[in-house]
Structure formats: structure tokens, C-alpha cells
């Protein structure tokens, strides 16, 4: 180029995406806003007929504002003659910053939205649910929130608290006091908004539970230190002085994790067991060493001596032994060797007389079944024998297999003349469900078990009233709870 040639600048790219709407990028949760863009090329000309992609990083988008049409995360549309395109963007249900990204050919841009909480809809008491013993107090605080749980800054100092249960009292400032065992409900009101909190007033105690091992679960604090790992089929029970836990296979473990195995040189494989009330015997189920299926009842001294066989295979299969408080009898599940039925029986240890005290229960077959008896526990007072009745149904449909299950808790008197269901209050009749074993409190007032309905967590059931108390501070689905006796 000579010095006389005029200067010609390089072309300037005036293209890109321009957001024409919305007028404001601040709105409340789940609001629907119209987003319109205009796209122009390098020379500033509108780009018509080009694919325009709208992508909501939070929230959703759609071509119309019709609430009946499902929204999506990504929408592709086409620019019109003026290079414009639009969608409807529904903001996210969570408050905070979010954005929508627009892509046209090599152009990309985004629009930020500040999503605000919605109107006050919840009071969100903290704690919403807890468990405490009688005579304790705690304070409820309120975290105001919208319908989606997003925090708000409303003044809730004028909240009104009311107790609707005799189990608790609550002060004007939200201090809750526990009065008696049961399920407590606290109503909370601010203006026209109401909410509820709950508290289970539970007896003090500690449970041995299964959770990838054996833990000791405190009913109040929910602390649950592990004492044995890996024992997921341990079926724990306590010795009477609360110093050791008996696990499957005649395995004894102390709360500090010290383990002892009793002698097993008697030709069978020990299963689950239970101490006698005086601590003199351990009654346990046992199967043949080759298969290990429970088929006989044995007992042994806690020091590993004096092993005795209580039932024989000639009498039929036997499992799940539970001795009476006075040590003169033992309850267990009996089944004829060639029968599909089993029954709960009580055996007099001196006379060897056996009495059936329950109806005959069909056990599982290949196609369908009622289930059978899954756990037997004689109450500390001697008045009742508790057992869980599995209710399984197995349905074959071509290659599809369906299972439904639950487990009733039943109480039967040792003579078999009285029978009642323990029906947790507030649960539908078809969901009086408990999975696996149950355990008595030392005073015989409570049963504890892993609930089938509705969250597979441990519940305490008050036997006289049927009140079922949730231990919501215990967030894990523990299994096979065994109530620790009071230390001497």
C-alpha cells in the first residue's frame, strides 16, 4: 500500500444477542416471565430463520405460558424475520441467583435472575420432631419460610404456641415441658399461618440395634456408638445385669466391644438366643452343622458349661426360644417336619408338657404365603408373650415378582386364652407393620421394633394405649432393637 492509498478499517462485528425482555430480572420463586432476544449478524443485520436454544440452568422453559403444558430445561425455537425469538421461563423453586443461557450459531449470552422467596407459608419449627424423657424441657424456634421452604425474614416474635396433648405443656415463649409418656403436638400460629411440631415423650433407655454392626442407641440423645462391626444378622439380646449383649452363634460382647465365644462343640450350629431372667441359662435355637437351619432348642450356662438339649428333631422343628420370667417354661415356634404350618407353644421344663397357645400359621411356599412367626418375646412381668406375625404375599406374573410385607405384633397369654393385637394409634389397619424382632421395656409397658410403615425406622409402642412414638432424632433405619435392662 502506498502512502497515498486511503485507510480502509477491518470490518467490525456488530452481531450478537440482545435481551429485549424481561424489564426486571428480579421476581419470586416459580414466577413465569417472558424472555425475548434479538440476534444480529456481523453487519448488524437481523438473523432470521436461525435456531435459537434457550437453556434454563435452574427452572424451566416453554414456548407458551400455558400452565397445563410441561416445561423443560431446554427449548429450541427459530428466530423470526426481525431476528427475534422468545420463550416463557419459570423461575426455580429455590431462592437465589439463577440464569438462562441463549445460543444462536456462534453467539452465546446469558441473563441472570435474582429469585426471591415467595409469600410466607410455613413457620418451620426447630426442632420439628424430637424425643425426650419425662421431666425434660426444650425451646422451639421458628424459621419462617415460603411454600417451598425458602427462608424469610418475617418478624415471628408474636407467635402463639398451644399444646394439644396431655403429654406436654408449652409456654407463651415456646418452651416445651414433657409431662407424661406419649406423643405430643404443639400448634404454632403467626397471623393466619399455622404449623405444628411434635415430640415423643419416651421412657429413658438404651437399645442394642443393628446397623452394619451392633450399636448402642440412646433413646433420648440418639447417640449410637458402634460396639461390633459387620454383625448384620446378630439378633441381639441382653443379659439380666446389662453387662453383655448376646449375638447369634453364642457370641457375647460387652458395651466396650470385648467379645467372648462360648463352646460350640456339640454338633449343631447355634443361632439366636435369649438369657433367662436369673442369668443362669442362655436358651438358643440351633441347626445341624451342615445346614444351620434352626431346628432344635438348646440351653447353655453363660460360662459355656452345662449344655442341654430341650427339643429334638423327632418332635419337629423349633426356633426363637424365650424363657418365662420364673424360668420354669420356655416359649418357642414349633413346626412339624413335613408341615407348612407352625404354631407358638409353651413347654414346661420340668414335665416336658407342650401346649399350643396360638393358631396354626402357614409358612411360605413357592407361590404365596401368609408368612409365619418371626419373633417371640416373653414379657418381663410374665403376663404376655409377644410375637410378630409376618404377612408376606408372593405373586408370580410371567417374569415379574411382587412382594408385599408387614408384621403384626400380637400378645398372647401364656395359657393361650387371651389374645390381642398391638395396634399403633394413627396407623391404617393394613400397616400395623413391624419387621423382624421386637423387645420389651424392663417394666413391660413398652415394645420396640422396626416399623414397616412408613419409614422403616424404630418405633416405641405403648402397650396399654397403642401409642406409637417415632424416634426422629434417630435418622437411620436401625433393625432388631433389644432393650437394655437397668444396671443392678
Question: For residue range 132-185, what is the model confidence (pLDDT) as tens digits?
Answer: 889 999 999 999 999 999 999 999 999 999 999 999 999 999 999 999 988 899
Query: Could you give the 3-state DSSP secondary structure of residue 433?
Result: coil
Output the pLDDT for position 391.
Answer: 55
Q: How far apart are CA 85 and CA 105, in angstroms?
A: 14
Output the pLDDT for position 68.
Answer: 60
pLDDT digits (tens, 9 = 90+) for 132-142: 889 999 999 99
Bridge partner residues of 410 (DSSP): 387, 421
Inter-residue contact 385 to 331 (CB < 8 Å): yes
pLDDT digits (tens, 9 = 90+) for 354-411: 999 988 877 755 444 545 777 899 999 999 999 877 654 444 443 333 334 445 678 9
Is residue 398 within a helix (H) or strand (E), and if so which, with residue range? none
**In the predicted model, what is the mean pLDDT of residues 445-463?**
77
Lowest mean pLDDT among 109-123, 333-347, 362-376: 362-376
Most confident of 87-91, 217-221, 320-324, 384-388: 320-324
pLDDT band at 436 (very low <50, low <70, confident <90, very high): low
Q: How far apart are CA 251 and CA 242, in angstroms?
A: 15
**Residues, the chain:** 488
Output the pLDDT for position 405.
Answer: 46
The pTM (predicted TM-score) of the whole model is 0.71
**In the predicted model, what is the mean pLDDT of residues 297-314?**
93
Give the rounded percent of residues in the chain with a pLDDT score beyond 70.
Answer: 84
Q: Between residues 379 and 2, which one has the greater pLDDT?
A: 379
Q: Is the pLDDT of residue 208 over 60?
A: yes
Q: How far apart are CA 451 and CA 459, in angstroms?
A: 6
**Angle at the Cα of 322 from the Cα atoms of 318 and 323, rounded to 5 degrees:** 115
How far the first Cα of the chain sits from its last, in Å, is 108
Q: Is the pLDDT of residue 348 over 60?
A: yes
> CA nearest 289: which of 270, 276, 306?
270
Q: Is the pLDDT of residue 483 over 60?
A: yes
Amino acid at each position: 500500500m502506498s502512502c497515498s492509498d486511503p485507510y480502509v478499517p477491518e470490518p467490525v462485528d456488530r452481531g450478537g444477542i440482545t435481551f429485549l425482555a424481561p424489564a426486571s430480572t428480579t421476581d419470586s420463586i416459580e414466577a413465569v416471565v417472558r424472555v425475548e432476544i434479538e440476534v444480529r449478524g456481523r453487519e448488524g443485520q437481523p438473523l432470521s430463520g436461525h435456531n435459537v436454544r434457550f437453556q434454563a440452568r435452574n427452572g424451566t422453559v416453554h414456548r407458551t405460558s400455558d400452565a397445563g403444558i410441561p416445561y423443560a430445561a431446554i427449548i429450541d425455537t427459530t428466530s423470526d424475520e426481525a431476528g427475534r425469538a422468545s420463550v416463557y421461563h419459570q423461575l426455580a423453586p429455590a431462592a437465589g441467583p439463577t440464569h438462562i443461557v441463549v445460543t444462536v450459531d456462534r453467539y452465546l449470552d446469558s441473563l441472570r435472575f435474582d429469585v426471591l422467596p415467595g409469600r410466607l407459608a410455613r413457620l418451620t419449627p426447630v426442632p420439628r420432631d424430637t424425643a425426650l424423657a419425662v421431666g425434660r424441657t426444650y425451646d422451639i424456634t421458628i424459621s419462617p419460610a415460603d411454600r417451598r421452604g425458602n427462608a424469610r425474614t418475617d418478624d415471628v416474635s408474636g407467635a402463639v404456641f398451644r399444646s394439644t396433648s396431655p403429654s406436654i405443656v408449652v409456654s407463651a415463649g415456646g418452651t416445651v415441658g414433657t409431662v407424661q409418656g406419649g406423643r405430643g403436638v404443639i400448634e404454632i400460629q403467626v397471623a393466619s399461618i399455622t404449623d405444628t411440631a411434635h415430640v415423643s415423650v419416651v421412657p429413658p433407655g438404651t437399645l442394642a440395634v443393628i446397623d452394619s454392626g451392633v450399636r448402642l442407641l440412646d433413646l433420648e440423645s440418639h447417640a449410637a456408638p458402634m460396639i461390633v462391626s459387620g454383625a448384620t444378622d446378630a439378633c441381639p439380646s441382653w443379659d439380666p445385669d446389662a453387662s453383655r449383649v448376646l449375638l447369634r452363634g453364642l457370641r457375647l460382647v460387652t458395651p466396650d466391644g470385648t467379645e467372648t465365644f462360648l463352646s460350640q462343640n456339640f454338633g449343631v450350629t447355634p443361632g439366636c438366643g435369649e438369657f433367662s431372667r436369673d442369668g443362669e441359662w442362655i436358651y438358643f435355637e440351633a441347626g445341624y452343622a451342615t445346614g444351620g437351619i434352626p431346628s432344635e432348642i438348646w440351653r447353655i450356662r453363660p460360662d459355656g458349661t452345662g449344655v442341654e438339649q430341650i427339643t429334638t428333631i423327632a418332635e419337629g422343628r423349633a426356633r426363637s426360644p424365650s424363657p418365662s420370667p420364673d424360668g420354669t417354661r420356655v416359649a418357642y415356634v414349633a413346626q412339624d417336619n413335613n408341615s407348612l404350618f407352625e404354631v407358638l407353644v409353651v413347654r414346661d421344663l420340668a414335665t416336658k408338657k407342650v401346649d399350643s397357645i396360638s393358631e396354626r400359621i402357614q409358612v411360605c411356599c413357592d407361590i404365596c404365603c401368609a408368612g409365619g412367626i418371626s419373633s417371640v418375646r416373653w414379657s418381663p412381668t410374665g403376663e404376655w408373650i409377644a410375637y410378630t406375625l409376618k404377612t408376606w404375599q408372593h405373586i408370580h406374573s410371567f417374569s415379574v415378582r411382587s412382594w408385599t410385607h408387614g408384621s403384626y405384633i400380637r400378645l398372647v397369654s401364656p395359657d393361650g386364652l387371651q389374645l390381642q393385637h398391638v395396634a399403633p394409634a394413627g396407623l391404617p389397619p393394613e400397616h400395623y407393620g413391624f419387621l423382624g424382632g421386637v423387645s420389651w421395656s424392663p417394666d413391660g409397658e413398652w415394645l420396640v421394633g422396626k416399623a414397616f410403615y412408613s419409614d422403616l425406622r424404630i418405633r416405641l409402642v405403648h402397650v396399654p394405649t397403642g401409642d406409637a412414638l417415632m424416634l426422629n432424632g434417630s435418622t437411620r433405619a436401625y433393625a432388631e432393637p433389644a432393650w437394655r435392662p437397668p444396671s443392678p
